[in-house]
Amino acid sequence: MAKESIKLVANNKQARHNYFLEKDYEAGISLHGTEVKSLRMGKCSIKEAYIKIEQGEVVLYGMHISPYEKGNIFNKDPLRPKKLLMHKNEIRGLKQKIAEKGYTLVPVQVYFKGSLVKVQISLAKGKKLYDKREDIAKKDQRRESERNFKVRNLY
């Protein structure tokens, strides 16, 4: 079997900043034709997107797919809720985890795997303000040490 190509469409950088991402899941997504064409052109945003489990189905809200220019009457609402395709066992397990305090589902990436559109979602726990400050301090420290290392190696 040949290795399938993965083409990234949208990335949610805020998810890593605001949450501790614990476990990743890959889900298919139910879309219409013009939405897929728009995704192929890279017109998608998941910055304000969130996921809910309703009646045994995983639904993605707030994902913005810009209308396809040549789609005219076939274009759908850019912010319509989109159903994610997952196995029932996975959904059941996620529902139990979300019932625990502090857990939520966060969309992390939207990408093409071969010709299929996939969404990477993560089981996440919210960060407190001091956790975010700690991460920023670590990042600054690492950046400073890399800068010092670079300066030393120039001479």
Query: In terms of residue numbers, what domain contains 123?
Result: 6-128
In our burial notation (b when 16+ CB lie closer than 10 A, e otherwise), range 31-65 reads bbebbbbbbeeebbbbeebebebeeeebebeebeb
Query: Distance between CA 25 and CA 22 in Å, rounded?
Result: 10
Domain count, the chain: 1
pLDDT value at residue 1: 47
**Would you say residue 56 lies in a domain?**
yes
**Would you say residue 141 lies in a domain?**
no
pLDDT value at residue 87: 92
**Would you say residue 27 lies in a domain?**
yes
Tell me the H-state helices in 31-118: 33-40, 88-99
**Would you say residue 76 lies in a domain?**
yes
Query: Distance between CA 110 and CA 84 in Å, rounded?
Result: 12
**Would you say residue 155 lies in a domain?**
no
- Residue 16 CB contacts under 8 Å (≥ 6 apart), including other chains: 108
- Give the residue with greater pLDDT, 28 vs 150: 28
DSSP helix/strand/coil, 1 = coil
User: CATH number for the domain including 32?
Assistant: 2.40.280.10
Q: What is the pLDDT of residues 13-69, one digit of tens each?
A: 888 878 888 888 999 998 888 888 888 888 888 888 888 888 889 898 988 888 877
**Would you say residue 119 lies in a domain?**
yes
Q: In sequence order, what are the beta bridge partners of 6?
A: 113
**Would you say residue 108 lies in a domain?**
yes
Query: Distance between CA 18 and CA 106 in Å, rounded?
Result: 10
**Would you say residue 154 lies in a domain?**
no
